[in-house]
């Protein structure tokens, strides 16, 4: 149940960009949620904007009061404390609306998809091009955070989408980034 929240606000830093700091914060949170085995803690970005495309300077954690306290007691913020301002665990305002905050993945590089298919299936360039036309490539217009895969070391963009507001909370689980396909978090 997402009855409480914590706001983590990025502080301006002359050495690091907001993009870099947000990426580091989300990466640390991801590792903490994996280690904590937390599928009951969600996130949102209260300053989320599509135009301009922007996640904002605030990462909001949502969950049960005791679970948020347990997460914060784990020391996962080490190295970030000078770069952020934390609120205490606070109760969600009554009457808050709710939203689904989810990850979206896109087929963004048709050449890479063709090379992968050619390796897997032993196809020629012409066969790969015929199987994967240029039209499958999509240019996402959602805000994102830059991350690096812990397993492959490859950089990637974690695109964040949010569905329209609803009055009632929808229970469910969250992935290791604090995002969900169906569970809502309070939106205020």
- pTM value? 0.85
Predicted confidence band at 107 (pLDDT cuts at 50, 70, 90)? low
* Rounded alpha-carbon distances, angstroms, from residue 176 to 6, 116, 166, 168: 17, 27, 24, 24
Sign, CA torsion 106/111/112/113? positive
Helices and strands counted in the chain (H then E): 4, 12
Q: What is the pLDDT of residue 108?
A: 65
User: Cα–chain-centroid distance for residue 13?
Assistant: 22
Mean pLDDT of the chain: 92
Domain boundaries, the chain: 4-105+142-187
For residue range 73-105, list pLDDT tens digits in order.
999 999 999 999 999 999 999 999 999 999 998
Residue 30 annotated among the catalytic residues of the structure: yes
Q: What is the pLDDT of residue 141?
A: 87
pLDDT for residue 63 is more than 90 = yes
Q: What is the pLDDT of residue 117?
A: 84
Predicted confidence band at 34 (pLDDT cuts at 50, 70, 90)? very high
Report the 10 Å Cβ neighbour count for 88. 10
Strand partners, 156: 147
pLDDT for residue 37 is more than 80 = yes
Per DSSP bridges, beta strands 144-148 and 155-162 are antiparallel
Active-site option among 30, 62, 83, 98: 30
**CB distance 130 to 136 below 8 Å:** no
Is 110 in a helix, a strand, or coil?
helix
Task: Report the CATH fold assignment for 4-105+142-187.
Answer: Alpha-Beta Plaits (3.30.70)
Q: What is the pLDDT of residue 138?
A: 66
For residue range 123-166, list pLDDT tens digits in order.
988 888 888 887 776 678 899 999 988 778 888 899 999 998 99
């Amino acid at each position: 149940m997402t009855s409480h929240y914590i706001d983590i606000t990025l502080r301006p830093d002359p050495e690091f960009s907001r993009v870099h700091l947000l990426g580091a914060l989300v990466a640390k949170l991801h590792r903490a949620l994996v280690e904590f085995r937390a599928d009951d803690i969600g996130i949102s970005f209260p300053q989320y904007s599509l135009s301009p495309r922007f996640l904002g300077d605030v990462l909001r954690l949502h969950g049960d009061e005791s679970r948020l306290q347990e997460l914060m007691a784990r020391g996962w913020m080490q190295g970030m404390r000078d770069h952020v301002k934390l609120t205490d665990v606070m109760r969600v305002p009554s009457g808050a609306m709710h939203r689904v905050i989810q990850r979206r993945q896109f087929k963004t590089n048709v050449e890479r998809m063709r090379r992968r298919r050619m390796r897997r299936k032993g196809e020629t360039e012409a066969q790969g091009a015929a199987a994967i036309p240029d039209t499958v490539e999509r240019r996402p217009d959602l805000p994102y955070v830059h991350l690096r895969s812990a397993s492959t070391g490859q950089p990637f963009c974690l695109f964040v989408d949010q569905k329209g507001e609803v009055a009632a909370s929808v229970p469910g689980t969250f992935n290791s980034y604090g995002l969900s396909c169906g569970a809502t978090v309070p939106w205020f």
